């Protein structure tokens, strides 16, 4: 199924699907669990539009390429352009919706790439590497500095976090990204994952949630 941005009530969002800007190691405990240094500034990489699939439909894992890890992240839909030096109000005003994403990662390949000092895209930007939920409108979401998120797999809580624990908070993150490259309407920013990442298996039943605002079930369909 072709991906289309939409709100959680099913209303389509009239924005094109653009790039996905990803933030690595934005929760200190996740950096530590993978024995990675905590960065001194946001660690950015990009997934192309071809990596995005609707979370609700279920998703497939690439075969023959090693373990695929889940990373649950708060996703921000950009509604107006952001570029250069921007104010906190500009950053907040550009958020058209708040959702959830899975940053799927070929972990063994990523470790090999890191060891060689190479970019991560081979491990992070493959087709269907970014299952994405519908979005809730900003006024229906928790405060940006206090968004809870969680992931349950087969009835077991695997990840639980809060945007309050981010190393670089959401508004400062958007300001930093806009100073590096332009964000356009329809782009998505995924903001880092809390601790608890692990391997996905065919048949796993997942439930991602921003408690009180958004809940999305999905499964690994093979």
Structure tokens at 42: 């946001």
Q: Note the pLDDT of residue 34.
A: 65
| Structure token digits, residue 172 | 């400062």
In angstroms, the Cα distances linking 115 to 30, 110, 138 are: 19, 9, 40
Count Cβ neighbours within 10 Å for each residue of 110-133 and write b for 16 or more, e otherwise. beebeeeeeebbebbbbeebbbbb
Tokens of 58: 């279920």
At residue 2, the pLDDT reads 85
The pTM (predicted TM-score) of the whole model is 0.95
- Could you identify the residue written with the tokens 């995005």? 52
The rounded distance, in Å, linking the Cα atoms of 154 and 133 is: 19
SS3 18: coil
What residues have CB less than 8 Å from 34, skipping those under 6 apart?
197
Of 63, 49, 34, 54, which Cα lies nearest the Cα of 192?
34
Q: Is 12 exposed, middle or buried (0-12, 13-18, 19+ CB in 10 A)?
A: exposed
Compute, in degrees rounded to 10, the torsion defined by CA atoms 163, 164, 168, 173: 50
CB 192 within 8 A of CB 24: yes
For residue 7, the model assigns a pLDDT of: 98
Q: What is the pLDDT of residue 39?
A: 79
Q: Which of 214, 12, 195 is nearest to 101 (CA)?
A: 214
Please report, in tens digits, the pLDDT of each residue of the chain (222 residues total): 689 999 999 999 999 999 999 999 999 876 576 667 777 899 999 999 999 999 999 999 999 999 999 999 999 999 999 999 999 999 999 999 999 999 999 999 999 999 999 999 999 999 999 999 999 999 999 999 999 999 999 999 999 999 999 999 999 999 999 999 999 999 999 999 999 999 999 999 999 999 999 999 999 997
What does the block give as tokens for 62?
């690439």
Residue 20, H or E segment:
strand 20-24
Neighbouring C-alpha atoms within 13 Å toward the C-beta of 110 = 18
Indicate the helix (H) or strand (E) that contains 172: helix 170-180
Please tell me the predicted confidence (pLDDT) of residue 32.
72
pLDDT score of 31: 58
Domains of the chain: 20-147+162-201 (3.90.850.10)
Which helix (DSSP H) or strand (DSSP E) does residue 5 occupy?
none
């Amino acid at each position: 199924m072709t991906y289309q941005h939409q709100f959680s009530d099913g209303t389509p969002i009239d924005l094109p699907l653009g790039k996905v800007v990803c933030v690595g190691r934005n929760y200190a405990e996740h950096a530590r669990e993978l024995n990675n240094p905590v960065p001194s500034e946001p660690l950015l990489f990009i997934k192309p539009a071809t990596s995005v699939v609707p979370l609700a439909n279920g998703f497939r894992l690439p075969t023959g390429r090693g373990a695929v890890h889940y990373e649950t992240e708060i996703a921000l839909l950009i509604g107006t352009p952001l570029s250069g030096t921007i104010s906190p109000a500009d950053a907040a005003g550009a958020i058209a919706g708040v959702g959830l994403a899975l940053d799927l990662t070929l972990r063994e390949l990523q470790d090999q790439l890191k060891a060689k000092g190479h970019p991560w895209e081979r491990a992070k930007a493959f087709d269907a590497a970014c299952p994405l939920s519908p979005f809730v409108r900003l006024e229906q979401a928790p405060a940006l500095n206090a968004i809870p998120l969680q992931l349950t797999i087969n009835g077991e809580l695997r990840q639980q976090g809060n945007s309050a624990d981010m190393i670089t908070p959401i508004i400062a993150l958007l300001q930093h990204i806009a100073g590096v490259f332009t964000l356009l309407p329809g782009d998505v920013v995924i903001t880092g994952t809390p601790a608890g990442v692990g391997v996905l298996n065919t048949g796993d039943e997942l439930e991602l949630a921003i408690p009180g605002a958004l809940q999305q079930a999905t499964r690994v369909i093979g």
